[in-house]
């Protein structure tokens, strides 16, 4: 058997608006930007991506499920995305329900708010995982069995936690520096775990689609299905499981429709299944069917981001180190308030995108295109975030006085 | 290569960035082998400048280069808008047009004797002389725009005669140097000059600031030192007090910021026709206690202002470049700049705002004052940015154009 495990990550943050110091103690609306054309309008951004990516891609995938009984796929869908879809695209939620009913679509567990809470507050992290499970169960009637952390941020202690929590599998980046001579195209056992299986992203084959597909400077451009299947076949010479993990928005948003990405995806699914013994597996099936070939240890955190594959885009600069611990330090008091709106606002601020917007490493390079942000600069992002923290503190003080 | 450089001022007889830019540019060009005759409209001792010939077009005192008489108070405020409607100019009420006429006469005589490869004219003040060289003597002309009449008038019209002189110079020039993209776009839009004819030539930091003979002694400023010890943040601005600089917006933002954080001191360094209005506005807003007007300063005192400040604000409605931002960055200030400033095109580790957005400016001041880690980050990161373009780079860029034109 040769199998492809295709897994797509679906997420939108609730971007906070350009929250002024003069709003503090007057206006506690952080996430609803009324000016539709604003950079921080969540509704505008969601609807834009809806038309370019979510709608056409889900349609294509649902069609492929109908046409190919052998096609299977896994999604991780954040709670913040689901909330936005419920507001602005309920028909996509209905479509997802239909797709999940086929039993060939699996939902992966993660934090509800797409946060880095694992690295700040373990209790908060567990709460957010449980909130996500609850939401998935409510909407789709299923319980996720395989875990992925935000940005695929992974280390040994996360694996240990996931094992104890009862997950059967966990996803991580199959990075050369960790793997060495070993191939990502097998299942491994994370060091120190009993039942957990580790699925490693084949980043070359994943990024060929996610990052390089439309790059005309790439020596392999244009990427045809035929050429790509040859590479997948080569990969199968060293292992029999190809984990293609990528952002859902690869299709239509990062790679525009005009690049031929949709035709590529559709033809790729059809062509792969035409060959005898080729399969698609969901993440759980991959864990169930494959035996671990060895142990893997990642004491340091590895992510699927940047060339560094570390957390440096989210943690470690002085702005992030001022803002995030300050946010998490409010947790106990905020939970004690039992005020659902306050708690939800707090948790929406833990979304990792906010910390990413404060990242200065691309900003300093002067490469505007490397800095994807809802704000004019990391310093603006920091400013509005800190203003919101002041208002959170004000609301807390109002309750206790 | 023989270059005739047409300027209006050189330090120490300068009122702002124009003289500093001309001096640094000429020096870097001379280092690369350019033979420069630099013409100023006054007579002064520039014998300390060895790398080029400084020629005086008139025997006027430098103070008269913008017109005006010895007892005319406006002369001191260094007004740039010429008063050309005075019916009968008396010797002590001479207009800037008279100075320009003498300047042109000098250039004509010069060109009858010498034949430079190229004329490089700085701003409208010298454009007529440049046009004369181009029209009557066939010498290639570069028009270098440090500011237009639109900038000087805060984008509100300005003097039609100055516009006309600018337009003629820009149309007839073989090449235009603009100190920023903002200025390039303005020249393209307001004067209908094709973009291909305009090159962006940024300024760099004054070489004097890089010399290590300066030491800041906080003890010389006991009051400000004490306030800093008490937790005050010092926010400064440096420049001519004219409408172009957007200082009334800055004062109103200061008022907003002080309502949230009273531990702020605002230093307004400079002088100009808006001075009295600003002093009155600070009083009307009830923030006089927190606003300090230092008067016109230069040299070590100016550097001390930068050094003692935590934050530097450039509030200009229109600022073709804005050298003071580089100077402030060099002295370790956090920068808050209007998006309308040219220098914001080459700096990234700073806060930016639209000149009219008083609330955002107040927000930015408060954020910087409230976060030491933010201050550290910004100060640290800007170190890699404010000297990214050196005067040598600028000279190389100019020379490659020179070589194509001659």
d(CA B103, CA B128): 9
Does the beta carbon of B385 lie under 8 angstroms from any beta carbon of chain A?
yes
- Number of residues assigned to chain A: 401
Which helix (H) or strand (E) segment is B169 a member of?
Answer: helix B160-172
Question: Residue range B87-100: average pLDDT?
Answer: 64
Q: What percent of chain A clears pLDDT 70, i.e. is strictly above it? A: 98
Rounded-to-integer distance, Cα A285 and Cα A104, Å = 10
- What is the residue-averaged pLDDT of chain B? 90
Nearest CB neighbour to A22, from listed B352, B359, B367: B359
Q: What's the pLDDT band for B68 if we cut at 50, 70, 90?
A: low
Q: Average pLDDT, stretch A88-102?
A: 98
Q: Which of A360-369, B5-14, B92-101 has the lowest average pLDDT?
A: A360-369
CA dist B72 and B346 (Å) reads: 39
Suggest the residue from A316, A318, A367 to mutate for an interface test with chain B (most B CBs closer than 10 A): A318
For B365, the closest chain A residue by CA position comes to: A383
Instruction: Respond yes or no on whether the N-terminal peptide bond of residue A311 is cis (omega within 30° of 0).
Output: no
Token duo for residue B366: 């408060």
B49 CA: distance to closest CA in chain A (Å): 37
Contact A380 B348 (CB under 8 A): no
pLDDT value for A367: 59
Closest CA to A52 of A209, A213, A253, A214: A253
Task: Say yes or no to pLDDT of B91 above 70.
Answer: no
Per-residue model confidence as pLDDT tens digits over B225-234: 999 999 999 9
pLDDT in tens, B142-173: 999 999 999 888 777 788 999 999 999 999 99
What is the end-to-end Cα distance of chain B in Å, rounded?
9
Tens-place pLDDT, residues A185-241: 999 999 999 999 999 999 999 999 999 999 999 999 999 999 999 999 999 889 999
A401 pLDDT band, cuts 50/70/90, is: low
Q: Note the pLDDT tens digit of each residue in B259-308.
A: 999 999 999 999 999 999 999 999 999 999 999 999 988 888 999 999 99
Q: For the ranges A173-187, A237-251, A263-277, A307-321, which has the lowest average pLDDT?
A: A307-321
**Minimal CA–CA distance to B35: which of B3, B5, B71?**
B3
Dist CA A152 CA A254 (whole Å): 19
Mutate to test the interface with A, among B252, B352, B374, B387 (most CBs of A within 10 A): B374
Q: Compute the average pLDDT of residues B29-50.
A: 94
The residue among A249 and B98 whose pLDDT is bigger is: A249
- For the CA atoms of B297, B301, B303, B308, what is the dihedral angle to 10 degrees? -110
Cβ atoms of A241 and A3 closer than 8 Å: yes
CA angle at A41 for the pair A36 and A47, rounded to the nearest 5°: 85
pLDDT mean over B330-349: 96
Q: How do residues B372-399 score in pLDDT, each as one tens digit?
A: 999 999 999 999 899 899 999 999 999 9
Residues of B in contact with A380 (CB under 8 A): 351
CB B370 within 8 A of CB B264: no
pTM, two decimals, is 0.89
Chain A partners within 8 Å of B334 (Cβ): none
**Percentage of residues in chain A with pLDDT exceeding 90?**
93
**HEC profile for A265-323?**
HHHHHHHHHHCCCEEECCHHHHHHHCCEEEEECCCCCECCCCCCCCCCCCCCCHHHHHH
Active-site residue set of A: 151
The distance of B290 to chain A (nearest Cα, Å) reads 20
Instruction: Name chain A contacts of B377, Cβ cutoff 8 Å.
Output: 317-319, 360
pLDDT of the residue at B73: 34
Residues of A in Cβ contact (< 8 Å) with B349: 360, 363-364, 379
Where does chain A hold its CATH 3.20.110.20 domain(s)?
2-296
CA distances from A387 to A23, A25, A216, A374, B404 (A): 8, 10, 43, 16, 54
pLDDT band at A4 (very low <50, low <70, confident <90, very high): very high
Q: What is the structure's pLDDT at B70?
A: 37
Choice among A85-89, A255-259, B69-73, B341-345 with the minimum mean pLDDT: B69-73
Q: What pLDDT, on a 0 to 100 scale, did the predictor assign at position A371?
A: 64
Q: Report pLDDT for A365.
A: 64
**Where do the DSSP E strands lie in A14-89?**
73-77
The confidence score (pLDDT) of residue B85 equals 39
Provide the 8-state DSSP code for B262. Answer: S
B261 contact A CB<8A: no
Res. B86: pLDDT tops 60: no
* Closest residue of chain A to B334, computed from CA coordinates: A379
Per-residue pLDDT, averaged over B12-20, amounts to 84
A367/chain B closest Cα distance in angstroms: 10
* Residue B80 clears pLDDT 80, i.e. is over it: no
Q: According to the model, what pLDDT value does residue B405 have? A: 93
* Residue A399 pLDDT: 85
Closest Cβ opposite residue A379 in set B256, B376, B378: B378
Q: Give the pLDDT confidence of A45-63 residue by residue, as tens digits.
A: 999 999 999 999 999 999 9
pLDDT at B179 > cutoff 90: yes
CA distance A21 to chain B (A): 6
Please report the pLDDT score of residue B406 as a whole number.
84
Sketch out chain B's domains with CATH numbers. Answer: 2-204+389-405 (3.40.50.2000), 209-382 (3.40.50.2000)
Look at domain A2-296 and name its CATH class: alpha beta
B371 contacts in chain A (CB < 8 Å):
322, 382, 386
Cross-chain residue pair A383–B348, CB shorter than 8 Å: no
Residue B363 sits at the chain A interface (C-beta within 8 Å): yes
Q: Is the pLDDT of residue B335 over 50?
A: yes
């Amino acid at each position: 058997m040769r199998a492809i495990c295709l897994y797509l990550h679906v997420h939108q943050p609730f971007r906070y608006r350009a929250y002024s110091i003069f709003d503090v103690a007057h206006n506690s609306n952080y996430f609803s930007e009324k000016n539709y054309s604003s950079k921080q309008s969540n509704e505008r951004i969601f609807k834009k991506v809806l038309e370019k990516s979510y709608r056409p891609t889900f349609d294509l995938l649902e069609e492929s499920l109908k046409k190919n009984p052998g096609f299977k796929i896994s999604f991780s869908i954040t709670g913040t995305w689901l909330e936005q879809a419920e507001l602005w695209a309920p028909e996509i939620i209905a479509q997802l329900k239909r797709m999940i009913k086929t039993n060939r679509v699996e939902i992966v567990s993660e934090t509800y708010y797409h946060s880095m809470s694992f690295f700040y507050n373990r209790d908060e992290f567990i709460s957010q995982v449980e909130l996500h499970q609850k939401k998935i169960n409510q909407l789709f009637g299923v319980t996720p069995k395989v875990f992925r952390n935000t940005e695929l941020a992974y280390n040994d202690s996360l694996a240990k936690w996931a094992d104890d929590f009862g997950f059967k599998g966990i996803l991580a980046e199959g990075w050369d520096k960790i793997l060495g001579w070993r191939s990502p195209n097998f299942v491994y056992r994370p060091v120190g775990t009993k039942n957990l299986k580790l699925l490693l992203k084949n980043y070359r084959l994943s990024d060929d689609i996610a990052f390089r597909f439309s790059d005309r400077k790439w020596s392999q451009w244009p990427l045809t299905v035929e050429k790509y299947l040859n590479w997948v076949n080569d990969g199968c010479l060293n292992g029999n499981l190809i984990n293609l993990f990528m952002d859902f928005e690869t299709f239509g948003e990062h790679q525009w429709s005009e690049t031929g990405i949709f035709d590529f995806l559709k033809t790729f699914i059809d062509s792969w299944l035409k060959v005898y013994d080729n399969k698609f597996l969901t993440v759980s099936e991959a864990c169930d069917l494959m035996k671990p070939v060895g142990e893997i240890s990642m004491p340091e955190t590895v992510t699927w981001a940047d060339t560094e594959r570390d957390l440096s885009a989210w943690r470690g600069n002085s702005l992030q180190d001022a803002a995030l611990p300050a946010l998490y330090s409010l947790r106990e008091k905020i939970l004690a308030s039992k005020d659902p709106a306050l708690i939800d606002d707090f948790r929406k601020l833990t979304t990792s995108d906010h910390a990413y917007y404060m990242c200065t490493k691309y900003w300093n390079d002067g490469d505007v295109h490397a800095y994807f942000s809802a704000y004019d600069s990391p310093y603006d992002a920091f400013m509005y975030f800190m203003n919101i923290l002041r208002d959170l503190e004000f609301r807390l003080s109002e309750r206790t006085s | 290569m023989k270059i005739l450089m047409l300027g209006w001022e050189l330090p120490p007889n300068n009122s702002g960035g124009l003289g500093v830019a001309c001096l640094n540019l000429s020096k870097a060009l001379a280092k690369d082998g350019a033979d420069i005759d630099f013409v100023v409209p006054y007579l002064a001792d520039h014998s300390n400048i060895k790398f080029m010939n400084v020629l005086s077009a008139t025997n006027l005192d430098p103070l008269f280069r913008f017109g005006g008489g010895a007892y005319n108070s406006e002369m001191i405020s260094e007004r740039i808008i010429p008063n050309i409607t005075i019916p009968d100019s008396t010797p002590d009420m001479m207009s800037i047009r008279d100075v320009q006429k003498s300047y042109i006469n000098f250039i004509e005589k010069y060109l009858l004797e010498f034949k430079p490869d190229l004329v490089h004219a700085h701003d409208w003040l010298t454009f007529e002389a440049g046009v004369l060289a181009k029209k009557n003597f066939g010498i290639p002309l570069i028009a270098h725009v440090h500011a237009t009449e639109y900038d000087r008038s805060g984008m509100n019209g300005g003097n039609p005669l100055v516009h006309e002189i600018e337009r003629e110079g820009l149309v007839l020039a073989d090449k235009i140097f603009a100190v920023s993209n903002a200025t390039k776009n303005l020249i393209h839009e307001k004067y209908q000059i094709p973009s291909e004819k305009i090159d962006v030539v940024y300024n760099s930091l004054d070489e004097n600031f890089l010399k290590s003979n300066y030491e800041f002694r906080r003890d010389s400023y006991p009051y400000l030192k004490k306030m800093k010890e008490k937790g005050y943040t010092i926010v400064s601005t440096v420049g001519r007090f004219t409408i172009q600089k957007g200082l009334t917006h800055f004062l109103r933002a200061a008022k907003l910021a002080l309502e949230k954080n009273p531990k702020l001191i605002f230093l307004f360094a400079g002088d100009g026709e808006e001075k009295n209005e600003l002093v009155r506005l600070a009083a009307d807003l009830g923030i006089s206690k927190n606003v300090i007007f230092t008067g016109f300063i230069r040299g070590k005192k100016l550097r001390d202002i930068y050094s003692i400040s935590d934050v530097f604000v450039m509030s200009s409605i229109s600022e073709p470049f804005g050298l003071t931002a580089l100077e402030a960055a060099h002295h370790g200030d956090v920068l808050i700049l209007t998006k309308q400033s040219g220098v914001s095109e080459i700096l990234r580790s700073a806060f930016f705002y639209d000149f009219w957005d008083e609330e955002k400016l107040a927000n930015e001041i408060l954020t910087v004052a409230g976060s030491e880690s933010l201050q550290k980050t910004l100060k640290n990161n800007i170190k890699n940015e404010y000297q990214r373009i050196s005067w040598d780079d600028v000279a190389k860029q100019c020379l490659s154009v020179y070589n194509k034109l001659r």
